[in-house]
Structure 1
């Protein structure tokens, strides 16, 4: 028999009562109420925010252009990607492997990783982070975009330098660090 205990519900305790202040979330990635930001050259749409899940997780829709993706980094939360379209090269603890549409990749907390779009076409994936927080980081670190399919902005060198300084100050707050490849 499988142990089905949940880390937030110690064994033997009753399941907590329903919290009526929490509501059903239906997220349309093209909906006017969804925030869109350009991060690492891609467009990230916050589908479900940490505020909507009481901080348990966030879900982000990612459109990653050819050649796009973040530099090697690590953070102390779990991150899971489901690749819907395209092909990505995932680097994990210094080793790379190609992942194709239909695959799901789980990155354990604290492990160095990165991904890069090697398909020559835009890759589309969903990213879940648990606990939440990465959604807030992307909103603070990214450049706002009008819609999910709007072209990413072309920031000036000064704007990029300003954003890089901001990101450096945000990394500790969001439990993330950049690592050398």
Structure 2
């Protein structure tokens, strides 16, 4: 046991407010990205930059390509099952399970099932929600299908990923 005296807790910050949201609240940001629909429940502004929380709907075949970033990312599966690839090793994760991706580790996920997957994603510190908003497109609601780009539109989106990823501490990796 350490004999060091711990630092006292800082005082309460009364400028910060309680955040209570429903994933279907009309004021939330809904983002279509790589065919998935992401709803930002808690952003960096709500958490003083400590984390963000995103509700994700991943259709069959959906999910991002290989990438890595210098922040922690945690997923809790609410519905369905998804295949995570972590440092080249594949694992199926089912509803009720939680996955933590350590910072800087190469990973991606894919919905290999025939049903839509719903999961919560928490990134700490916050910032990933801003990357999604920068490279994604606005969709009307949490259950709205995200556009799937092809041809020139897909190339433009991929260029945007490459352009903005470094600003958000993310590296897009070659396809697996």
TM-score, normalised on structure 1?
0.91
Is residue 32 of structure 2 the alignment partner of residue 38 of structure 1?
A: yes
- 1:84 is aligned, of 78, 88, 91, to 78
Partner of 1:6: none
Decide whether aligned partners of structure 1 residues 63 and 11 sit closer, same or farther in structure 2, where only a CA change above 3 A counts: farther
Give the distance between the partners of 2:71 and 2:5, measured in 1 at CA: 24
Query: After the TM superposition, which parts of structure 1 deviate over 6 Å for at least 4 consecutive aligned residues?
Result: none
**Are residues 67 and 156 of structure 1, via their aligned partners in 2, closer, same or farther at CA, if it must alter by over 3 Å?**
closer
What is the rounded CA distance, in whole Å, between the counterparts of 1:144 and 1:159 in structure 2? 15
Deviation at 1:17, TM superposition (A): 0.6
Out of 117, 124, 131, the residue aligned to residue 137 of structure 1 is: 131
Q: Sort the Cα spacing of 1:29 and 1:179 in 2 relative to 1 into closer, same or farther, 3 A.
A: same
The one of 102, 107, 110 equivalent to 1:108 is 102
The aligned residue for residue 45 of structure 2 is 51
CA separation of 1:150 and 1:11: change in aligned 2, threshold 3 A: farther
> 2:20 aligns to what?
26
Unaligned runs of 5+ in 2: none
* TM-score relative to the length of structure 2: 0.93
CA distance in 1, matches of 2:68, 2:90: 15
Number of equivalenced pairs? 174
Per the TM alignment, residue 160 of structure 1 is displaced from its structure 2 partner at its CA by 2.8
Gaps of 5+ in 1: 4-9
CA distance in 1, matches of 2:45, 2:157: 24
CA RMSD of aligned residues (A): 1.7
